[in-house]
Amino acid sequence: MAPLFRPRTNALTVVFLVGVLALLVAISVIAYVVYRSPYQTDAGYAPEQPIPFSHQHHVGGLGIDCQYCHTSAETSDFAGIPPTRTCMTCHSQEWTNAEMLAPVRESLSHQEPLAWTRVHKLADYTYFSHRAHVNNGVGCESCHGRVDKMHMTVQRQPLTMEWCLECHRDPGSELRPQDKITSMGYSPEDDAIPGHELIDQYDINLDHLTECSSCHR
């Protein structure tokens, strides 16, 4: 009776086994890269909005402070989306006939809020607090990027747990003095009080920062 396998089957078996192994590794690597890519994290997400509101114009150009509109950043978990009346504080006099601003005027006259599309979304099991961050030395820029250069509001950071923990494990390099929280382009390395001094100054409990319950409740 002829042998069941021919001699070259040995080589084929090796090729097959190595191939399967390589395929598994490749799939894992690709899955990991995709999982960390902007495709998955939404970094670079800049949805269309009811009005093409430009932070670049209002913050970079006019120098209006973030808190003029986001008034509850230091008192609440949520920084606050301004009511239409905040827009109209200036636009009752400025660009009063601009086509672009028609939705704002309609919103005011119909008492119907503007429906902005949320850009920075966290999972519902994560409890982020603006108040906890801006009152303890974390500037707006650390998470939101150079808002003063954004024509359209865009998510700059991946907002993954790994990204949060980078800072929670070693917050020193992201801390600023209290009067620089809303500044844009502030460099903690160059013109700053050293991070460890700010950790003392804000009385930050480093152990608490990496506890599960700090963010997940």
Q: Which is nearer to another protein, 4 or 115 (CB)?
A: 115
Which residues bind to another protein, rule: CB under 8 A?
62-65, 67-68, 71, 77-78, 81, 83, 85-86, 88-90, 92-94, 112-113, 115, 118, 123-125, 179
Q: Is 80 left (phi over 0), alpha (psi -120 to 50) or beta?
A: left
Distance CA 13, CA 103 (A): 68
C-beta atoms surrounding 205 within 10 Å: 10
Cα–Cα distance measured from residue 162 to residue 183, given in angstroms and rounded to the nearest whole number? 25
Nearest to another protein of 135, 172 (CB atom):
135
Q: Which is nearer to another protein, 24 or 90 (CB)?
A: 90
- What are the residues whose beta carbons fall under 8 Å from the beta carbon of 45, sequence distance 6 or more? 38, 119, 154, 155
Question: What contacts 101, CB < 8 A, 6 or more positions away?
Answer: 51, 87, 91, 95
Task: Tell the smallest beta-carbon distance from residue 132 to another protein (Å).
Answer: 15
Question: Minimum distance from CB of 71 to another protein (Å)?
Answer: 5
Shortest distance, CB of residue 68 to another protein, whole angstroms?
5
- 155 with 43: CB under 8 angstroms? yes
Q: Which is nearer to another protein, 32 or 78 (CB)?
A: 78
Nearest distance in Å: CB 17, another protein: 32
To another protein, the closest distance from the beta carbon of 2 in angstroms equals 47
Helix (H, G, I), strand (E, B) or coil at 215: helix
Residue closer to another protein, measured from CB, 172 or 186:
186
